Amino acid sequence: MDLKQLLLKDAMIMDLKATNKEDAIEEMVDKYYQVGVIDDKELYKSDILKREAQTSTGIGDGIAMPHARDKAVKRATVLFAKSAKGIDYKSLDGQPAYLFFMIAAPDGADNLHLQALAALSSLLINPELVKNLKAAKTADEVQELFDKAMKEKEAKDKADEEKEKAKEAAAAKAAASDNDKPYVVAVTACPTGIAHTYMAEAALKEQAEKMGVDIKVETNGSEGVKHQLTSADIDRASGVIIAADKKVDMPRFNGKHLVSRPVSDGINKAEELINLAVEDKAPVFHSEGGEEEESSDSGEKRSLWSRIYADLMNGISNMLPFVVGGGILMAISFLLENSVGAKSQWFLFFNNVGNYAFSFLIPVLAAYIAVSIGDRPALLPGFVGGYMASQATASVVSSKSPAGFIGGLLAGFIAGWIIVALKKWLKVMPKSLDGLKTILIYPVLGLLLTGAVMYFMVDPIFAVVNHAITAFLESMGTGNAVVLGALLGGMMSIDMGGPFNKAAYTFAIGTFTATQDGALMAAVMVGGMVPPLAIAIATTFWKNKFTEQERQAGLSNYILGLSFITEGAIPFAAGDPLHVIVSSVIGSAIGGGLTQLWGVNVPAPHGGIFVTPLANKPLLYLVAVIIGAIISGVIYGVWKPAKKEANK
């Protein structure tokens, strides 16, 4: 595809008026909408901002490449924009950005479009082209510069390809002829797979040529895997470079010196990465039976808490679809029960399917905690251990209560670490028996040991503990209930989706599944709705304290808050944590406490305002939400200092 078809003259902005990152994105998105490249500004801008939240697309050297691929885009296009004074784009090198390339790719973009976008991205590591673009005065001049650079690159690529073929032919005739020249392999990948993937590839190849190093780069982009590394490539390489912001196939690099960095380092620190790979300064990567062990160029290990938290979040994130899907169907069934009766097939259908989904909560939680620790071999023992925790079975201690969520959490960690221990113990086995490990030894021994620990220790102990907690909650007086409700409600706002939020929500879910009492669900639901609603209220009534973009985002928080999506407040909390978090915690704690003071019960694990008809006291449930949101919104609105740019 001709690059002129991508770099539309009508879409270029030769004098960008914006003075900050948010306004620059807004101005470029508006231009796309004006020329008909996109038909939904909000959708496209939302996806641009999501990409920026992962890591800034200000790649350094005065260049920014915001990009998105979604259904709002009607045709593949690259918007070129210039800023004479430069804009603080939060670039990776901390310097202002002068040149902007906003890439728009249709959701169903074909390979031809994607190849053209990748080619365009790779041109931008050419300092001469960047210099000329900064001096360009007209849109025609920009097109001519890219056309010339593309032709030069195609000629160079063709020459390199012929050179590579000749080198491979020579190597086939005399394998030792090239042994003195260093050789490394690399993998580049970014979440979107449009720009950074290919820029890192180009930067690594160009730097390797300057250093006299042979390199082969595999790209994991939007087109799929290109230039895939073979076993022969990896065996021959003295080191491996991973420049990626998403998961790549790692076990194939077992035993190789490997440096793993973000994709931006592949663009900006190519020389450093190549030196580490060539000089054997990177740690040796170890993988066994598909297990991907932690590896970093610095050799640093995560703290114990960060590892536990990551494992726990893996279990919870895989469990949440069962909570939401099953919970919504159960909520629908309760609505149907009120209108068609408890014996109706419609009620029974929705209620049973929802309950079936709920029956998997603890097994899935345990299974994916275990997988996070011990990889795939830990799935079976984790799943069975979680199932054992969810059942009130007679073991060495007879109890009518299952071990519940606490037992399920322990089952996941126990199963995962048992598999890790087995992998270490079984390293002495002959290599010829490696095939038996994953299909026989890990499943049998992992299940046996996990089952034994659960049957003889965890289930008996935590069945009693869980029963005691349930009895305590059922007998708890109003004063204690209010304190607990306030605590859980406040925790929902401390980190808005992080460990405190998940701990409160998981505790309420555990209580709900054990007792079918939705009192604590009411507390956490109110607590989780307050932060985004407070943001919406503050941006509505204190407009002078927010930018136009923040006011627009604030409006969407009305919907997010009513839907019990606490994460809608995260962008505001990230930019102003003190004012947002403190005000949100106060309102959430008050709202959560009020639900317990008034004895509100919501027998649904999700749904926010939309499950109000299920509450035993729907009006008081709504009042608790409104009071908490108004208190937080007023505190935030009054407390927050005004932004100067908000008055423009």
Residue 285's φ and ψ, nearest 5 degrees, are: -85, 135
Distance CA 321, CA 403 (A): 22
- 67: annotated active-site residue: yes
Token pair of 575, please? 């930019």
CB-based contacts of 249: which residues, under 8 Å, 6+ apart? none
Active site (annotated) includes residue 467: no
| Biggest CA-to-CA distance, the chain | 86
Q: Cα-Cα-Cα-Cα dihedral of 113, 119, 122, 126, to 10°?
A: -130
- CA torsion angle for 527, 529, 530, 535 (degrees, to 10)? 150
Query: Do 81 and 66 form a contact (C-beta atoms < 8 A)?
Result: no
Mapping DSSP onto H, E and C, the string for 229-274 reads: CCHHHHHHCCEEEEEECCCCCCHHHCCCEEEEECHHHHHHCHHHHH
Q: Which one of 113, 190, 257, 579 is the catalytic residue? A: 190
The pair of structure tokens assigned to 503 is 């701990």
Give the number of other Cβ atoms within 10 Å of residue 74's Cβ.
14
Nearest Cα to Cα of residue 64 among 199, 161, 188: 199
Length of the chain: 648
CB of 256 within 8 A of CB of 241?
A: no
b (16+ CB within 10 A) / e for 147-182: eebbeebeeeeeeeeeeeeeeeeeeeeeeeeeeeeb
Tokens of 481: 């209930």
Question: What distance lies between CA 125 and its chain's CA centroid?
Answer: 28
Is 455:410 a contact under the CB 8 Å cutoff? Answer: no
Tell me which residue of 211, 214, 207, 205 sits closest to 167, measured CA to CA: 214
CB 521 within 8 A of CB 605: yes
Tokens of 169: 């032919």
**DSSP SS3 for 471:** helix
Distances from the Cα of 129 to the Cαs of 65, 120, 252, in angstroms? Answer: 16, 12, 38
- Residue 228 identity: Q
At CA 351, angle to CA 347 and CA 355, rounded to 5? 170
Kind of pairing, strands 224-226 and 214-221?
antiparallel
Pick from 615, 401, 360: nearest CA to 514: 401
The one catalytic residue among 67, 196, 467, 579: 67
Residue identified by tokens 């069975």 is: 384
C-beta of residue 67 within 8 angstroms of C-beta of residue 103: yes
Q: Specify whether the CB–CB gap between 39 and 73 falls below 8 A.
A: no
Residues 408 and 387: beta-carbon distance below 8 Å: no
Provide the annotated active-site residues: 67, 190
